[in-house]
């Protein structure tokens, strides 16, 4: 390919709710790899975990509040628009059609990376996109199994390689360890505690206004 655009990052999840742990990782990786943008893509319904507490529309709105003042952080509703459980390969293929000359960089935490070989068509995901593994000190990488072999085969050290192909490389990047849990935030709100300083004030204001997470009944 004669010309490739500046890479973009892909950050999927439930974001129930989005918090500073998500946002700090995104900002650090955007700056470290000079990504044109990072697209937060909330799922409509996760495939292998419990349903989110907040509705898809609420999670989209909270993300919009969180990134409103960050020009390089975007919200993408492509998975929610499908109105059905989405696999990451579906999203990557959709984005590859939308951005045919743009390297895609899928952002994974170590926990997601550890299970990557169980994802639907994981080899195609790696062919169509690069992977950036956000590594926190307390989360060791798997040393055996398929993902360990993939890391050995595809790991690159130079960030410039992300601009040389549409996919196929893996980058490993240490990130600031903010031990913030969306589950813990939801539990605090349900129990009448104040989760302020764990998530953007605009997101918390939205939660309060719409009375999200206050009751599980």
pLDDT tens digits for range 139-173? 889 899 999 999 999 999 999 999 999 999 999 99
pLDDT at 131 over 70: yes
SS3 label, residue 135 = strand
Q: What are the b/e assignments for 41-78, b being 16+ CB within 10 Å? A: bbbbbbeeeeebbbebebbbbbbbbbbeeeebbbbbbb
CATH 3.40.50.150 corresponds to the domain 8-179: no
- Which residues make Cβ contacts (< 8 Å) with residue 66, sequence separation at least 6? 18, 23, 73, 199, 200, 202, 203
Q: State how far the Cα of 9 lies from the Cα of 39, in Å rounded to an integer.
A: 6
How much is the pLDDT for 217? 47
Q: How far is CA 208 from CA 183, 187, 194, in A?
A: 17, 14, 11
DSSP 8-state code for residue 142: P
How much is the pLDDT for 138? 76
pLDDT at 40 over 90: yes
Long-range residue pairs from 86-89, CB within 8 A, at least 24 positions apart, any chain: 86/43, 86/44, 86/45, 86/47, 87/47, 87/119, 87/120, 87/121, 88/12, 88/119, 88/120, 88/125, 89/119, 89/120, 89/121, 89/122, 89/124, 89/125
pLDDT tens digits for range 7-32? 999 999 999 999 999 999 999 999 99
pLDDT tens digits for range 82-120? 988 889 999 999 999 999 999 999 999 999 999 999 999
pLDDT tens digits for range 191-209? 999 999 999 999 999 999 9
Residue with tokens 């020009």: 71
How much is the pLDDT for 2? 52
> pLDDT tier at 215 (50, 70, 90 boundaries)?
confident
How much is the pLDDT for 132? 98
Q: How far is CA 10 from CA 41, 146, 149, 172, in A?
A: 7, 23, 23, 15
pLDDT at 216 over 80: no
């Amino acid at each position: 390919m004669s010309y490739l655009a500046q890479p973009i990052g892909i950050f999927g999840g439930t974001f129930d709710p989005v918090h500073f742990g998500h946002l700090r990782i995104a900002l650090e990786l955007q700056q470290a790899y000079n990504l044109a943008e990072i697209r937060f893509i909330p799922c409509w319904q996760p495939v292998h975990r419990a349903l989110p507490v907040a509705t898809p529309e609420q999670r989209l709105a909270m993300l919009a509040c969180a990134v409103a003042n960050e020009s390089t952080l975007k919200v993408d509703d492509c998975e929610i628009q499908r109105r059905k459980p989405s696999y990451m390969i579906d999203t990557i293929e959709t984005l590859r059609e939308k951005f045919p000359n743009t390297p895609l960089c899928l952002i994974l935490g170590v926990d997601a990376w550890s299970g990557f070989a169980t994802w639907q068509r994981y080899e195609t995901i790696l062919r169509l996109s690069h992977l950036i593994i956000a590594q926190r000190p307390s989360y060791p990488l798997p040393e055996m199994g398929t993902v360990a072999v993939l890391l050995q085969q595809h790991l690159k050290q130079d960030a410039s390689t992300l601009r040389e192909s549409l996919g196929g490389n893996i980058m490993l990047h240490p990130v600031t360890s903010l031990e913030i849990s969306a589950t813990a935030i939801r539990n605090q709100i349900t129990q009448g505690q104040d989760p302020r300083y764990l998530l953007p004030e605009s997101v918390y204001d939205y939660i309060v206004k719409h009375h999200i997470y206050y009751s599980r009944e």
